[in-house]
Amino acid sequence: MVPAHSGRAEEPVYRPVLAARRGELEALAHLDDALAPMLSPILQLSGTDPSIVDALARMPTRLVPAVDIGALPEPAGTELARWGVPLVPVIGLTDGERRLAALGGAARAYAGRAVVRLRIRQDRAGPDASTVAVEQIWRYAWLAPEQCDLLLDCGDVCCAADVRMTEPRVRWVVDWARRHAWRSVSVVAGGIPPTLSRLPTDEPVRVERWDWVLWQRLADLGVGFGDYGVSPAAPGTPSSGDRLPTVPYTGQGAWWVHRWSRRRGRGDDRVADLCHTLVSGPHWPVTGASFSWGDHEILRRARRFAGAGSTTNWMAWSTSHHLAHVLDALTRPARGGARRPGQASPNRGRSQRGGETRRAG
C-alpha cells in the first residue's frame, strides 16, 4: 500500500512512538532541521505535566509531533486544542464521543489531520466491527479518511516466534485497511527487551532488532515504518532496569547494548570508559560525531570533555542516534529504503554543532 501524497518531499518516512519523557524530548529538540519533515513522532503522555507544552514549543519548526493522550482519564487531554503549539492528535478505536469531538477539534486547529492508532493485539475485532469503529471516529471527530494516518501498533516483538505470530495478523489488518482511503498506513512495533539488567556488563552485547525484521518481511505491502525507539512498547520505566550507565546503540539489524559497571575512582570514569569503547568499536559511524547530536555527546564523554550525565542523558543520546540511524536506513536504497528522486542522504551536508568526523579506515 503506497501512502497518499508519496511524491511530496515533506511526507514523513518514519513514525517512532516515544514516551514523552525528558530524554526522548531532548533528542527530538536536537534533531537536525533538515531531517524534521521525514519524521513524525507519536508522543505518549502518561500524565498531565504542563512542561510538555514548553517541550513541544522547543521542537524544530518543521517537526509536527502527534500526541497520544489515551492513557489519561477524562477530561484530561481534551484540552489539546488550547495548547497553542502545532501537533497532531492520536485517536484510539475505543475513544468515546466526547473525546473524539475534542480530538477532532485539535486536528482542525493545527495540522488538519489525525493519527488513528489500531492496536493489533488489543483491538481484536473483525473487519465489520473495525469498520464501524473507524466510521464512528470520522463521524464524531468530523474527519475524512484522507485526513487520517493509520498506525498499526503490534506492541513488543522480541523474538522470532513473535514475528511469526504477528506477521499474518498485520497482513489481515492491512487487507482490511485497503477498503478505506487512509492518508497513509504504517506498522509500528517494539523490539528491545523489556529489561536489559540481565545482560552482561562491560562489553557490547548484540540484541536483534526483531521490529525491523518484521517490517522487512512486510515490505511487499508498501507500509510505512515505526518503532518504539530504544524502549520497549510495554509502558513503564526505560528498558535498562537499573541505574548502571546504559547506552543501547543502534546498528544495522541489531542494537549493541553498552552497560557498564566498572568502577575506577569517580563515577564519571565509568561513562567515559563506556563511551571510549563505543567510539572505538566497529559500530561507530564513519561520519563520527556529525552523525547525530547524540553521537557528538557520546564522543565528548569519551574524550572527557563533559561529565557522566544521568539516565535521562543516556536515553537522550541513544534516542538521538537511533532516530538518525533509522532515517538513514530508510532513505538508502541499498538498505531497503526508498529514497525519493533527488533526495539526498539525511546526513549529507548536515550542520551539527560541535560535530567531529572520523575518517574511514
**168-175 long-range Cβ contacts below 8 angstroms, 24+ apart:** 169/120, 170/120, 170/214, 170/218, 170/221, 171/218, 171/221, 173/118, 173/120, 173/130, 174/1, 174/218, 174/221, 174/223
- Which pLDDT score is estimated for 340? 36
Residue 10 lies inside a defined structural domain of this protein: no
Sign of the dihedral defined by the CA atoms of residues 295, 299, 302, 308, in that order: negative
Residue 4 lies inside a defined structural domain of this protein: no
| Alpha carbon separation from 271 to 212, 217, 280, 305 (Å, rounded) | 29, 37, 14, 12
Closest CA to 122 of 97, 82, 160, 93: 93
Contact 190, 211 (CB under 8 A): yes
List the CATH number of the domain containing 132: 3.20.20
Structure pTM?
0.87
Structural domain boundaries enclosing 108: 17-233+240-335
Residue 223 lies inside a defined structural domain of this protein: yes
8-state DSSP, 190: E
109 C-beta neighbours (distance < 10 Å), count = 16
8-state DSSP, 14: B
- Which pLDDT score is estimated for 262? 73
Closest CA to 274 of 203, 200, 198: 203
Residue 9 lies inside a defined structural domain of this protein: no
Q: Which residues pair with 88 in a beta bridge?
A: 66
For 304-355, write each residue's pLDDT tens digit. Answer: 999 998 999 999 999 999 999 999 999 886 444 443 323 333 343 333 333 3
Low-confidence ranges of the chain (pLDDT < 70): 1-10, 48, 75-78, 236-242, 263-267, 333-361
For 187-242, write each residue's pLDDT tens digit. Answer: 999 999 988 888 999 999 999 999 999 999 999 999 999 999 999 998 765 554 56
Number of folded domains that form the chain: 1
Tell me whether residue 221 is exposed, middle or buried, using C-beta atoms within 10 angstroms of its C-beta: 0 to 12, 13 to 18, 19 or more. Answer: middle
123 vs 290: CA distance, rounded Å: 42
